[in-house]
Structure 1
Amino acid sequence: MPTAAQLTITPIPAQPLEGDNVTLAVQGLATEGIISFNWFRGGSTEFDQQILTYRVLSGGMSLGPAHTGRETVSPDGSLHIAAINLKDIGPYTIREIMTDINYPAQNIYLAVFERLAPPAIMPSTSAPLELQDSVTLSCQSPSLDATFQWYIDKEPVAGGERLELSPDQRNLTIHQVSRADTGPYQCEAKNPAITSLSEPLLLNVIYGPDVPTVTTSDISFILGFNLTLSCSTSSNPPAQYSWKIDGDPGPDGQQLFLSAIHLGTAGIYTCEASNPVSGTRSAINTLIVIPEYMPQPSILADNVTPVEGMDSVTLMCVSAKQSATIRWFKDSSLLPNTGPGDLSPDNSVLTFWNITRNDTGLYQCEASNSATSSLSTHLPVNVNYGPDTPVINSMDSTFEVGSNLTLSCFANSNPPAEYTWMVDGSPWAAGQILSILDVSLNSSGLYSCHAANEDTGYQSTTQLEVSIKGRGLFLSSLSHYLTH
């Protein structure tokens, strides 16, 4: 016959919450020699604690004094309790009534846990002042048995000197609160069966204004130009701004607009930021110095159409301010001090002693001081050169008696070269391209291309021997020469 030691009771669910339906599942109930079994609310088998009795043979059930109307039983001995509450916490005992007058019993302790509502966070102050106030956050929960955990930006709080937790961890105190302590904060109420998290709370820490920063719309202050000063600082709530000019009250606002500045605009401009809640103020001074206007410089040149290999060129930057710093630009790119030209000690004169075609370009000079600068207009330098040795090209690959012969001639030159052709020393045609229709064997001969540049005075010639044959054309360059 089964013994009491073989009887086991298991609660389902294992950690029930208020309002759950619970089964105290029984295993090992005797199958032979059992007459009935009783359930008791408590650890003893006193009659006044009896919930019910189940008669195994007939399947009948009788209710005891401790029955609440929510308890039922299964033939396997399991007790079902509907809608449990915290008053149902405690031991429960099952007793078997055997034919041999043996009454084995087994009990279990039923734990019921609160169904926790989300807690709420209550701050001791809604607007703490940075580095002055301490703030205590209280985790409000109706539960008396829950434990608590705090989180800052979803990270658990361990507690320490500045972040202090109360012994029951319901309260979190932040000493000397700073702007970095904004949060968000959450508190968690929990028991072994359930956890419940509060809504996030952000602290509205009052801070600032920090020392303001003043920026300008332009790094240079030029006579006649407009100027805007912008003031900014870190502050909560946002700071209010006012200006002073040389100590005298100026306009309010974050920006100060100065139109058509002049020498009288120079002075000390003070931006003052104030926090309307904390009552604190912070200010910064900005010194504005208006430099004299830098007139536009000009460039003088002794030759703007030099000849390569023959001429030198001198460019002079003329500025109304003798103390100005001079820089040179070619095609909008800054010329290095060790460039192709030589610079005078004060950089005002740029000299090309042996000018080349690579020095062709648009030149500018810049005059500047520590605050402003001015750029000259472009001066074109156009270097004349060439013609280089001409090259004769045939536009067709083969020639036969009766076909057309076309030759072209090209030579690098500025300005472009003028071309003339000679055949066997006799003038033939002018132009870059020579065309002969319906060639014959008599078209063979020495063809010369002559390129000339009137501006440089240079000339250059290339000769090509053309031999017409019955089935093709033989081209052979014999010589070229350059004359001046």
Structure 2
Amino acid sequence: MYAFVVVAQEFSVDVEVLTAPLGCTAILRCLIPTFVRELVRVVSWVQDPSIYIYPSLQGDGKYHLMPTGELFIHNLQHSDELHSFRCRSMHKLTRQVVISNPARLRVNGLNPGLYSPNIVEHTTHVSVSQDEGAVLICIAQACPTPAYKWYFNNKIEIVPVQNGQRVRILGSILAIEAVTTDDAGDYKCSASNVAGETSADIRLSVAAPLQIEIQPSILSVNMGALAEFTCKVSSNGIQVNTPHILWFKDGRQLPTGRLEDVLIINRVSRENKGMYQCVARRPEGDTFQATAELKLGDAAPILLYSFIEQTLQPGPAVSLKCSASGNPTPQIIWKLDGFPLPSNGRFVLGHYTTIHGDIISHVNISHVTVEDGGEYDCTAINRAGRNSHSARLNIYGLPYIRLIPKVTAVSGEELSLKCPVAGYPIEEIHWERNGRELPTDIKQKVESDGRLIINSVQKKTDSGIYTCWAKNKQGHSARRSGEVNVIGKTVLLYSEYFQQAFQIIIGCRLQMGTKNVY
């Protein structure tokens, strides 16, 4: 389950008091700023110091908090002026509770005597969703207190509204629970006493509930490609046009600037991965939302930063850095002249991943010496591919050749062997095998950078001891030997066959319900 997170909006509320004569009804209204009005509801009122009044269709006689947030105080007395009232409001999404400053009632004069009803407060248009509750309000000031009657126009005739299982007439309030589309229409409330009668018209609109979904619900896109989500809104299986559609990513509203049912993301990057919400809001204030996920497909590594060739005197510290992006996050492998980095205390290798999923790797060398020179290579690898960069680090000094580890080549394939030479400048690099300088045939080639390439190596003719030697202009030289072992393809084929057979065995045991696989 994914949490729906929004940014908190600071707001304050105030209280409006509609005063009334002695013995009549006063109305207190919580004033909510327009920019959050659709997302904030009144949850209760507080009569100081600590008497809480909660919404109810029936009220408790003296106090009646409407589901719409207004507080009615019936049968006003002068003693009611001694109390102060505060409204408590809550943001629907952030759950932030804001309490107003206290407000006091003002009762107008003495008993006003006899006068006919005057409707001072009534709802003109109520819009609710199907299966929700509807409250129609019609407040009249009069003395004596007026009697109320309610009527409904069923498009054939105007009929009195009767109390029933879902319908309650509470004087100036008509409450309908679990409304249906049959309840929609025009209502009339009538208030009368011995001094006269008056009436008001109220319209009730009932909207069927919305079903909302994002298509597709899970979308996997390669980095750099286009992603598209469509927000489908329907009611009773029929697609509807909803004017207010907002898009959110990981709980934050997207700055689209327009209200669209289609969200298009060009050139998807790692930052676009995550959860997306489509929120449809109707004029009635109710909201509906659906969630979809954008996943990143595999992407081969791309080198974002790489080091350059440097030529230095021995002594200073050197830092070589590579960074790469890709999906999944690649790993970076370092080599020096094709072999693993020397394992000594002057070499420190570090890696870390940024918040965007990029990998940054560096090699720090303290107090470089002549033997640290050579061609450094960083290779970023993930399951989608690899990407490499290499550059030389030249350290002035006499020729020096590092240890050449034992090399294994595969029969019939190409062998590429780099002479791990250090020192700068170097004039010549040569290779020998069994005392004979290479190349000795057309399969062999020695590149200008000292790389030995042998095409289609064979066990009998190409296995053995190879010697690399280097010389500078002054005639100083260095040499080092290493062993090359050529193995047949049959060994690899057998190994691959064994691995495949092992995977088949594991699959069979899992299908048979065997938990322990060896």
- TM-score, scaled to structure 2: 0.38
More helix by share: 2
- TM-score, scaled to structure 1: 0.40
